[in-house]
Structure 1
């Protein structure tokens, strides 16, 4: 299992590094480059703020639902755990 864990960790590192590089190039460098063929590989500039905001909202929603389910589950356990 150790080799599989290392492979998954390496894959996650490569994916996150490539997303970070793409986004950094898109936000910081691309606005200073005018009329170049590289622009066709990137989304319009309006999405530079929209994508991270939507991702943050989605993460907060999923986290809130998870915490809510955990709280409900622990409350139900306490309700059934009545001892005399």
Structure 2
């Protein structure tokens, strides 16, 4: 059973994910139809970054996952050698 702190962290992560999803969806799906001089445009990044930001995030997550897997395999290989 999850503790209160685990539940709080989980709810926080879900909340942050929801905010990021809504922000990105509005940025990519709604803003192209809004006039460029509208004040709403100042709340969002330039449209040029709409594909660059997720691509960079995917690259960073993939690199981090690869490094983690490499470290685990290296650690397991070392422990088998010494046993």
- Fold shared by both chains (TM-score > 0.5): yes
**1:24-72, CA deviations, whole angstroms, 9 ceiling, x for partnerless residues?**
0000000001131100000000110000000000011111111111111
Number of residues of Structure 1 aligned to a counterpart in Structure 2 = 81
RMSD between aligned residues: 1.0
Q: Which has the larger radius of gyration?
A: 1
Matching residue of 2:55: 53
Structure 2: gaps (5+ residues)? none
Matching residue of 2:33: 32
Report the Cα distance in structure 1 between the residues aligned to 2:71 and 2:44, rounded to whole angstroms: 39
Structure 1: gaps (5+ residues)? none
TM-score, reference length from structure 2 = 0.92
TM-score, reference length from structure 1 = 0.91
Report the Cα distance in structure 1 between the residues aligned to 2:3 and 2:72, rounded to whole angstroms: 30
